[in-house]
Amino acid sequence: VRVAGDAEVAAMRRAVQLSARGLPTAHPNPVVGAVVLGPDGSTTVGEGWHERAGGPHAEVRALAAAGERARGGTVVVTLEPCAHIGRTGPCTAALLAAGVRRVVVAVTDPHPVAGGGAEVLRAAGVEVETGVLAGEAAAVNEDWLIAVRRGRPLVTWKYAATLDGRVAAADGSSRWITSAPARADVHRLRGAQDAIIVGVGTVLADDPHLTVRHPNGELAALQPLRVVVDSAGRTPAGARVLDNAAPTLLAVGEGAAPPVGAEVVRLPAAADGRGLDLTALLSALTARDRRFVLLEGGPTLAGGFLDAGLVDRVVGYVAPALLGRGPVAVTTSRTGATMEDVRRWRLEGVQRIGPDVRLTARTLEEV
Ligand SMILES: NC(=O)c1ccc[n+]([C@@H]2O[C@H](COP(=O)([O-])OP(=O)(O)OC[C@H]3O[C@@H](n4cnc5c(N)ncnc54)[C@H](OP(=O)(O)O)[C@@H]3O)[C@@H](O)[C@H]2O)c1
């Protein structure tokens, strides 16, 4: 197998740029970019990226742009072409039909169903090289790759706290700890998710709506699934999460009688007896094609997720304010007895948002 030449590396750099165009819209799919080089191996004859789930894959779009000029050419693509029939046909078939001679791939696909395209192409006589600019391509798809490797959705836990770490006052009220700009940022964060999860305690205390709104107050066209974790089905029939502004899933225990107005999934109890089995909850979300989820509390449910090792990233909005009393961001059962229990995370970002600060940290647990 030849080693990728300068033209192919340059094309891959371009394909990585193209892939990033799919970032807000490709969910729950990966972002992918592709460039087709003509038979001379260096002239770009087509480009494409994956824009949205259900739409054409990057290599199919690039091949369509190239037309007959792809015959005998090279396709440079950031993720291994899929070999299965999902919502669209297998990309391997499209590459073979186009008469491509060589395929250069950055990242091999870890997906248990969609992966394996490189082998299919090689078996059909196409030259395949993998690993070209793999680090750069993987960085754009980092969250998707983590979720696929973990075999569950990527979980981001978000909270808003005072400087003394409190997420509500002693009476349970929490509106509003952070500023309007920080809350607008939360809507942006929500907009990049497939589901938003809260515990029934938060529904009872705050009656949140959990929708994505634009800065002008309008509801966004695409709304994540709202999920309430509620063993006994205590969500009130008139709760705002049950309106029709967005779809809602109530996760309840076997015997519960939840209110009508939402889809219901029945889950087993957690092994430690603290509510529902959260791994089963994430499986239920995977089954609904939800790959990126935002956990919005409260402290009890966040503790359940953390103790089960199911949080990948934390986004903390911290306001320069003090409450002195009230619940802190998380109640866990496993840590805090001694400094040996401390769990350290990798700081990913620090940003000022209006008068507040946003801290982002990622787990150090290996995938
Ligand atoms: N500032 C913030 O960012 C923020 C965000 C959210 C909430 N809050 C505040 O937090 C308070 C509410 O928090 P909370 O801790 O009482 O309620 P919560 O964490 O929203 O909900 C906890 C409930 O979830 C249910 N649950 C089901 N399975 C669970 C599991 N495996 N692990 C843990 N819980 C499970 C349990 O009720 P069942 O046993 O009935 O199922 C549990 O009591 C309110 O004061 C609210 O204002 C603040």
Write the residue with the smallest CA distance to atom 46 of ligand 1.
Answer: 202
pTM of the entire predicted model? 0.91
Pocket of ligand 1 (CB under 6 A): 159-160, 167-168, 172, 174, 177, 198-202, 205-206, 229-232, 234, 270, 274-276, 278, 296-301, 304, 327
Give the mean model confidence (pLDDT) for residues 215-233. Answer: 95
Look at residue 221 in the predicted model and tell me its pLDDT: 92
At 331 the pLDDT is 92
Q: How confident is the model at residue 273 (pLDDT cuts 50, 70, 90)?
A: confident
pLDDT reported for residue 1: 57
Compute the mean pLDDT over every residue in the chain, rounded to the nearest whole number. 94
CA dihedral of 101, 105, 109, 115, whole degrees rounded to 10: 10
**pLDDT digit string (tens) for 11-43?**
999 999 999 999 878 988 999 999 999 999 999
pLDDT at 230 over 80: yes
pLDDT computed for residue 116 by the predictor: 87
Q: How many A from CA of 88 to the centre of ligand 1?
A: 40
pLDDT digits (tens, 9 = 90+) for 132-178: 999 999 999 999 999 999 999 999 999 999 999 999 999 999 999 99
Q: Which two tokens stand for residue 241?
A: 């999460």
Ligand 1: distance of its center to the CA of 127 in Å? 54
Residue 126 CA to ligand 1 centre (angstroms): 54
Q: Which helix (DSSP H) or strand (DSSP E) does residue 275 occupy?
A: none
- Residues 269-278, mean pLDDT to the nearest whole number: 93
Substitution site in 202, 235, 272 for ligand 1 pocket (most atoms within 8 Å of beta carbon)? 202
Reported as half-sphere exposure (CB side, CA atoms, 13 A), residue 193 has a value of 26
Extended beta strands in the chain, E state: 33-37, 44-49, 74-79, 102-107, 127-129, 154-162, 195-199, 225-229, 248-252, 263-266, 292-295, 313-319, 346-353, 356-362
Question: What's the rounded Cα separation, in Å, for the pair 194 and 110?
Answer: 21
Measured in angstroms, how far is the CA atom of residue 210 from the centroid of ligand 1?
15
Please state, in angstroms and rounded to a whole number, the distance separating the CA atoms of residues 343 and 147.
21
Position 329 scores a pLDDT of 96
Residue 325 pLDDT > 70: yes
- Distance between CA atoms of residues 36 and 116, nearest Å: 21
Output DSSP code: residue 355.
T
Active site amino acids: 59
Atom of ligand 1 nearest to the CA of 317: 3
